[in-house]
Amino acid sequence: MGGESPQKRRLSAAQANVKKPVPEKRGSLPNLLPPLSKRRHDMATKVLPDDPKAAAAPITLPDVATPASAPKGDTLKLPDAPAKATKPAPSASSIKRYKSVFQVSRSKKSGDITLESQRTIDTVLKYQMGQCELRKLKEVFNYIDVDRTGQISFEEFFEFIDENRNPYSESLFRLIDTDGSGTIDYEEFVHALTSYCMFTREEILQFAFKTFDDDDSGSIDESEFAKLANMVNDGKPLFTGNFNRALKEFDKKNEGVIDFTGFDLLNRRYPMILFPCFRLQDRIQKATLGEAHWLRIHQRYYDMLKDDLFRKKHGGAAPPVSTSTKIKLIFGVGTFEVYQPV
């Protein structure tokens, strides 16, 4: 020791103070968890059994026959699931819809319009229309019904919207005139006009396609296509090319006919052919509630669909209300009421 240098003596003293690690048993993991506090230790001793062997005892489950242990010829039988009763599709008036934050309630007033046709009620409820829209449409109907018979004819209706009579407009009137009387009453008027004014672009195309698919084959041949182009344009087709060439261009299956997919492509390529079908919707909208009002109904309808989709994805929870929406509600901007069936 006397011959050691001061540096070696300090190094030896430091090594002596270092604790040697306890060798771990083979296969064991190092204990990285902190020691239990006294409170946690007391809680653990209350729930653990006194005998450690009892804690490690296996849990005994009742014997259950399995396909391997079951006697030959026996099969496992599960309880039959209860048969689902088939119910007719509910009407729109019986479907409970979530109430829009902009929807307000109002008590019935004298002069309110009461609907009797279930089909008309369903249409009005589907698009969240109320007494405001029904009264306005009643004013329009009474304006057309000059002789006050409670019925309007084909000629009166299309003269009012400034449209000529052609097979396409006749098909729309047939959609309205369900009893084939040649005239329509107020509720038929509301149902059909609302349905057509709420059609999307694709739905208008489908309506036109079905109108001229005379044999209901799901396709339009050359004669049906020529008839369509001539008649929706008052005998003056805006399509300047050859019908046969157009059929070849959009006949994807090379069968001499156009299905709805080809019909849609044709409209995109030559939009002026079916322009009168879309013009009819524009004129009806302008002549009844006005374009801006129909646009608001469209917006309410799509907001409702978006709201329903959110609730389905989030277990029925309502979507969050934005700050701009809260401000609108404070000042009553954008609120509306919905028809209440009797």
pLDDT reported for residue 180: 77
Q: What's the chain's length in residues?
A: 342
In a domain, 10, yes or no: no
Q: Give the least confident one: 2-11, 286-295, 303-312.
A: 2-11
Residue 38 in any domain: the answer is: no
Q: Is the pLDDT of residue 278 over 80?
A: yes
**DSSP string covering 14-38:** HHHHSPPPPPPPTTPPP--SPPPPH
Concatenated DSSP letters for 100-144? Answer: PTTB------TT------HHHHHHHHHTT--HHHHHHHHHHHHHH
Higher per-residue confidence, 122 vs 233:
122
The mean pLDDT of the chain is 75
Place of tokens 């804690």: 55
The answer to whether residue 56 is domain-embedded is no
Identify the CATH number of the domain in which residue 162 sits: 1.10.238.10
Q: How many CB atoms lie within 10 A of CB 30?
A: 7
Residue 86 lies in a domain: no
Percent of the chain with pLDDT over 90: 31
What is the band of 245 on the pLDDT scale with cuts at 50, 70, 90? low
Choice among 25-34, 126-135, 179-188 with the minimum mean pLDDT: 25-34
Q: Write the burial class of residue 16 (CB in 10 Å: 0-12 exposed, 13-18 middle, 19+ buried).
A: exposed
pLDDT band, residue 295 (cuts 50/70/90): very high
Name the DSSP class of 93. Answer: G
- 152 strand-pairing partners: 184
Whether 51 is covered by a domain: the verdict is: no
| Nearest Cα residue to 279 out of 156, 141, 161 | 161
Residue 97, pLDDT > 80, answer no
| Rg for the chain, CA atoms, rounded | 38
Residue matched to tokens 């309410």: 300
Looking at the chain, the whole-number percentage of residues with pLDDT higher than 70 is 63
- Say which residues have a Cβ less than 8 Å from residue 270's Cβ, sequence separation at least 6: 238, 239, 246
The whole-number pLDDT of residue 56 equals 45
At a CB cut-off of 8 Å and minimum separation 6, what does 7 contact? Answer: none
Mention every residue, 6+ apart, whose C-beta is less than 8 A from residue 35.
Answer: none
Q: Is 209 exposed, middle or buried (0-12, 13-18, 19+ CB in 10 A)?
A: buried
| Inside any domain, residue 279 | yes
Whether 168 is covered by a domain: the verdict is: yes
Q: Is residue 141 part of a domain?
A: yes
pLDDT (0 to 100) of residue 88: 52
Predicted pLDDT at 285: 96
What's the pLDDT score for residue 262? 84
Instruction: For residue 38, name the pLDDT band (cuts at 50, 70, 90).
Output: low
Q: Which residues pair with 258 in a beta bridge?
A: 220
pLDDT of 314 over the 90 cut:
yes
pTM to 2 decimal places: 0.66
Check pLDDT > 90 for residue 287: yes
Range of the domain at 171: 112-287
Total number of domains constituting the chain: 1
